[in-house]
Amino acid sequence: MLAALVLALCLGLTYGAWRSAHDASEQQVQADFDFRVRQLVDNIVVRMQTYIQVLQGVQGLYASSQSVTRSAFHAYLAVQQADAHLPGIQAIGYVPLLPGTALARHEASVRAEGYPGYAVRPPGQRTWHAPITYLEPLSESKLLAFGYDIWSEPVRRAALEQARDTGQAAMTGKIHLVQDGGSAQAHGFLVVLPVYDNGLPHASVEERRAALRAWVFAPFRMGDLMAGVGGEGARQLDLEIYDGAQLAAAALMYDSLSGTQSSAASDSLVSQQAISIAGHAWTLRVRAMPGFDGELLARPRLMAWSGLLASVVLALATWLLAAGRARAQAALALSSELTAQFEQGQASVLAMAEAAQRSQAMLRSILDSTIDGILVDNIHGRIFTSNRRFRDLWQVPDALDWQADGAALVRHVESQLGQAAPFLGARAHAPHGHRERRDVLHLRDGRVVEQYVRSMQLGNEQARLWTFRDISERSQMERREHTRRQVLEMLATGAPLERVLESVVLSVQADHPAMLCSILLLDENRHRLVLGAAPSLPAFFNLSSHGHDLDTLQGVHGIAAQALRDGQRVIVGDLHAAADTQATMELAWRAQLQSCWAEPVRGGSGKLLGVLMAYHREPTLPGAAHLARLSEAAHLAGMAIEQAQVALALRAGEARFRSLYDHAPVALWEQDWSAVRAALDALEQAGVHDLGAHFQANPGALQRLARLVRIIDANGAALAQVRANEEDQRRGALGLAQNFDDSALPRFGDALLALAGGAHLYECESSFVRLDGAARQNELSLLVMPGHADSLDFVMVSSLDITERKRMNAELLQLATTDFLTGLPNRRHFMAALENEHARLQRELASCASVLMLDIDHFKRVNDEYGHAVGDAVLRHLGALMYQALRKVDVPGRVGGEEFAILLPGTDLAAAAVFADRLRRRVAESSLTTDGGLLITITVSIGMAAMAGTDGDSDAVLARADEALYRAKRGGRNRIEQNDGSSDGVLSKFMAQ
């Protein structure tokens, strides 16, 4: 009985142990299942949040820039390597919102970027389009989605509208990805984020709809997205994902197991989870697969069999050991779980730290690669950071601890400035809000720096962003071009040589204030120096070189003589060190000169004409910029000297025209007009009294009279002028064509009428033909010799070949009246045409005219982003478009940096408005491709005004057009405003659609 009692007790205890172990195992299996389900759901949510953060990074790229080109978009995503690090994400794309009217222009723009087959799909005209324009990485399979109009499909459009109205990420329902070719077995979805215009508010739904510019999106394929999402723990789970809240077969988006395997899943270990991602609901059903419980459910059975087989005596011990073992296993499982959670948290912290380091390194690399110097400080002068360009621009030494002492850096910058007031004023009165302050700083070494100061927020602290750009080269180029144009205008107007040379010297001194210059010329015998211009040097110093022989000049003037003798530049950086004796440099000491540079002045043929001298009051050597400036000034001086010599030669030639025939240096022709006189008498007897009308009605009569003129003799200059010799003269090869060719017969007719009418002298310009067939131009003086006025049998003709002079004058006139960059008339020429038109309107009050003022929108942004070379190309591009659109009577002109004007004679405001709108559209629809492959599109704002003869002067219409132009720029740019002088001043508006 005792054994039975013990056996019964042991069996009872064994049964109790089995039941307890069985229940605990089931609870543990359920807990393990619930934990793996939570882990799986969390992994899905975290993975999607990570992908949305990647999209938010792309959204931030657009938020930080007004325009993101395809190359910038590709470069940004190439660094991210989303396809390598983020499984499931197929690509990242950019979708602009386009009205239906802009579809053709959009397709043309993308095709111009290198995608000739690009077209928006599905075809058809709709109110709005949202085509996939950027897609990275763009593989061959993803080209199926390139150009697909997301707006055309209801499920995708719903997500676009949700993102637009909420400003947050939005996810589509179950779809088939376009790049999968419409495969019914591959399900996916899109996640989209809105991109708003940074310049517009988007606090409310209405503001967000108005400010929407585009979306960025990422397509996902469910099979790729879920790959490996649950790790090793998800292998014994069947995961089903349904779109929405219902477990319907049509809504099934993903099933981790095939239909046969899924049917074997457990009906008891089932969990249904509802999650929301990017504002869209998913329902997840997770079921355990056979074998999930593993050994946990087998242990109670083992325990029962062990209790039955164990001895009655050991029953109690067996039960105690089993219970202890179960508790130890539970503790071990809990310890393993805590260890795994700790390792996962540690890995997440390390990943976040590594990402922060990469972001900081990327920001520093971007700052150091900019072309502008950047400095960030706060209003108290504490400096946060600066880039490499700032330290190079201001030559900040490495030993300067500016981060510990910001005042030291300020003192260092102030020490390099000629005038520190703009820099210190910007520190004391920094702009607030979104405004900025611009100043131009002049450094002691001659550089010019453009300074911008903007306010910014760094966390909770107010900071300032300083931007510095070296514009020295641009400023010098503008001043040099102004000097060159001024010299050419003076040459074209015949200014004295002394004034022209003085202008050249003063321009060099204006560029380099520490420099004193003079120009010394060689006399006619090329043995003496003559002072050309020296406005800033002492009189005694100038007189000491004027009129002296080259061989007698010593000291500082001997340097000029050496440059002329050698024909090369001479540089003496320290006159004290170069002086053999103190006496040789006495003039330099008296004039307080310490260094001297000599630049030879040559003519177009290379002939030495003089020397350009540059002096300094301190010992110094020239830099590359100094030498280039001196060389350019010497070239201008050579042009001026040669022009003066040419003018002197022409005047001397005109004086020699009246010298003796045999020794005249100009071409003289002795002609017999007696046969012409007889023919005129015959015409008079025939009743012809109006010879001018007779010649117009009978051109052949004038040609017959021209053939009657006979060349009696010609001097050597005349023979040389027409490439003839004495043998040609003897055999009668010379004729009137060597004075008047066929095209100049009307001039011969005028001369004939004048001389036949009693005039003794007639002068004109004509064209002639040399014996070698070359057509030239000449200046003729026809003199009837005394005593031959009635018979016209002796006429002396002097001719001067003026072909080269007319060509030179035409070139000078072209340089003086044309803008060198665009080829359009410059401001001087345009204003002259405007005055002539105003005078015409004063005479013809019934006539009309209009004036247009044009300005390139955001031209400064083009210069800042792409450089001034691209800015010049944009100006030339606009000038070419203007020329193509104008009539012959219209007068364009460049009146400012990016400001242009057009005079439309005989055009009222209505017709001018049509022309202006056509020109505005043509500019907006055309694009410029630079040598570097940049595609640039510009727009213009236009102001119009009618011109009237009742205006006080021509400036009145320019003022009205300029006022309309600024109204157009304030009204949004890329538009036209008209001003008729009334109170409101606006007749009509043409807005870009």
* Positions marked catalytic: 898
Q: 248 with 293: CB under 8 angstroms?
A: no
What whole-number distance in Å separates Cα of residue 560 and Cα of residue 555?
Answer: 9
Cite the DSSP H helix spans in 370-452: 388-393, 406-415, 421-428
Beta bridge partners, 243, equal 282
- Secondary structure of residue 710 in the 3-state scheme: strand
What whole-number distance in Å separates Cα of residue 580 and Cα of residue 918?
Answer: 74
Taking phi first (over 0 means left), then psi (-120 to 50 degrees means alpha), and beta for anything else, what does residue 470 get?
Answer: beta
The first and second tokens of residue 174, run together, are 């179950």
What whole-number distance in Å separates Cα of residue 440 and Cα of residue 427?
Answer: 14
What whole-number distance in Å separates Cα of residue 432 and Cα of residue 184?
Answer: 58
First-to-last C-alpha distance (Å) of the chain: 107
Measured at the CA of 43, the angle between CA 40 and CA 48, to 5 degrees, comes to 130
What whole-number distance in Å separates Cα of residue 289 and Cα of residue 260?
Answer: 12
The first and second tokens of residue 372, run together, are 């502008």
Continuous segment of H or E residues that includes residue 532: strand 529-533
What whole-number distance in Å separates Cα of residue 466 and Cα of residue 394?
Answer: 13
What whole-number distance in Å separates Cα of residue 296 and Cα of residue 330?
Answer: 11
Q: How many residues in total does the chain contain?
A: 993
Taking phi first (over 0 means left), then psi (-120 to 50 degrees means alpha), and beta for anything else, what does residue 458 get?
Answer: beta
DSSP result, 599-647: EEEE-TTS-EEEEEEEEESS-----HHHHHHHHHHHHHHHHHHHHHHHH
Q: 266 with 290: CB under 8 angstroms?
A: yes
Identity at 563, one-letter amino acid code: A
What whole-number distance in Å separates Cα of residue 843 and Cα of residue 840?
Answer: 5
DSSP result, 489-511: HHHHTT--HHHHHHHHHHHHHHH
Cite the DSSP H helix spans in 722-826: 726-730, 745-756, 803-817
Cis bond upstream, residue 137 (ω within 30):
yes
What whole-number distance in Å separates Cα of residue 614 and Cα of residue 723?
Answer: 47
What whole-number distance in Å separates Cα of residue 499 and Cα of residue 511?
Answer: 19
Cite the DSSP H helix spans in 64-175: 70-80, 82-85, 103-112, 154-166
Closest CA to 913 of 943, 951, 934, 939: 943
DSSP result, 245-287: SS--GGGEEEESS-HHHHTTS-SSSEEEEEEEETTEEEEEEEE
The first and second tokens of residue 136, run together, are 């990275």
User: What letters, b where the CB count within 10 A reaches 16 and e where it falls short, cover 395-425?
Assistant: ebeeeeebeeebeebbeebeebbeeeeebee
Q: Please name the residue that has the structure tokens 């006429």.
A: 795
Strands 940-947 and 975-979: parallel
Identity at 202, one-letter amino acid code: H
